[in-house]
């Protein structure tokens, strides 16, 4: 199984983008992102809190559709998925 994970803005600076990974069957979205983010402590801390949960402002999408943070721990990824992780969006 192959999944692409894309980080944006500040997360991209810390973790890179267009990361191709081969998670095992049954891997859930939160664990996939956590495994990648653990390669950079600053990146991990930007996305996850002290309990290892997504910070409330993080935006996670799977194949262009937003995944609620509460569902990320039970949403399994499948072959061909594209996961996007965004920091909060601000502008004016």
Report the sign of the C-alpha dihedral through residues 90, 16, 37, 61, in that order: positive
Q: How far is CA 54 from the centre of its chain?
A: 9
Domain segments of the chain: what residues?
3-86
Assigned CATH for 3-86: 3.10.20.30
Over the stretch 13-39, which tens digit does the pLDDT of each residue have? 999 989 999 999 999 999 999 999 999
pTM over 0.75: yes
User: Cβ-count burial of 31 within 10 angstroms (0-12 exposed, 13-18 middle, 19+ buried)?
Assistant: middle
Q: Is the pLDDT of residue 77 over 70?
A: yes
């Amino acid at each position: 199984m192959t999944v692409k994970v894309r980080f944006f803005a500040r997360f991209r600076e810390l973790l890179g983008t267009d990361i191709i990974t081969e998670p095992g069957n049954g891997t859930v979205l939160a664990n996939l992102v956590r495994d990648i983010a653990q390669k950079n402590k600053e990146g991990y801390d930007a996305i996850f809190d002290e309990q290892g949960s997504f910070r409330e402002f993080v935006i996670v999408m799977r194949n262009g559709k937003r995944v609620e943070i509460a569902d990320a721990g039970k949403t399994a990824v499948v072959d061909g998925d594209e996961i996007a992780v965004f920091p909060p969006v601000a502008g004016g």
